[in-house]
Amino acid sequence: MLIAGFLVWAAGVGYLAATARPNLTGLDVLPGLLISGVGLGLVFSPPGTIGMHDIDPAMSGAASGLFNTTRLGGGLLGVAATGAVLQARLTTSLTDPLDRAGVLAAVRFTYLLPLAMLLAGALGTFAVRVRQETSSRTAEPSRAG
């Protein structure tokens, strides 16, 4: 579910980047936001369950606090990095603040960072899953023997 979530979320971000143009309306971006929202829901649901699965009930409050602090800190870093990329792109490539094409190019370029991170998340999740499946297959014969 996580891999699908990352890919759906990336599709939504890709849609927003591809369809970005001057004079967009709320209806123009709605499909990309809906697609991103579905992916976001698929990505954010499982980690909480997975992270808290084997936690002793006496430690659940501390573990939940650590999990949420880490999740929020990661989100904060992602937003800050994306904002920094946008600011840097606007500063280096924009000579006229009213140049809509320049702003649009900077926004499209900035979408590459979250898109790359989402695809990296899908790839990393896939790699962990393959590793776990490989480990469980190699461990099974030793148990039987």
CA dist 76 and 73 (Å) reads 5
Using one digit for the tens of pLDDT, what is the confidence trace for 77-117? Answer: 999 999 999 999 998 888 887 788 888 889 999 999 999 99
First to last CA, the chain: 34
User: pLDDT tens, 55-81?
Assistant: 888 998 999 899 899 989 999 999 999
What is the distance between the alpha carbons of residues 132 and 16, in angstroms, rounded to a whole number? 34
Tell me which residue of 43, 41, 9, 2 sits closest to 127, measured CA to CA.
Answer: 2
Q: Which two tokens stand for residue 107?
A: 């926004």
With beta carbons less than 8 A apart as the criterion, state whether 35 and 6 touch.
Answer: no
Q: What is the mean pLDDT of the chain?
A: 89
Q: What is the pLDDT of residue 113?
A: 94
The pLDDT, as a whole number, for residue 132 is: 82
The two three-digit tokens of residue 38, written as one number: 């579905």
What is residue 126's predicted lDDT score, i.e. its pLDDT?
Answer: 93
pLDDT for residue 47: 84
Inter-residue contact 14 to 129 (CB < 8 Å): no
pLDDT digits (tens, 9 = 90+) for 24-54: 899 999 999 999 999 999 998 888 888 888 8
Q: Provide the token pair at 133.
A: 């499946």
The span from the CA of 66 to the CA of 72, in Å, is: 10
Quote the pLDDT of residue 46.
85
Whether the Cβ atoms of residue 37 and residue 12 lie closer than 8 Å to each other = yes
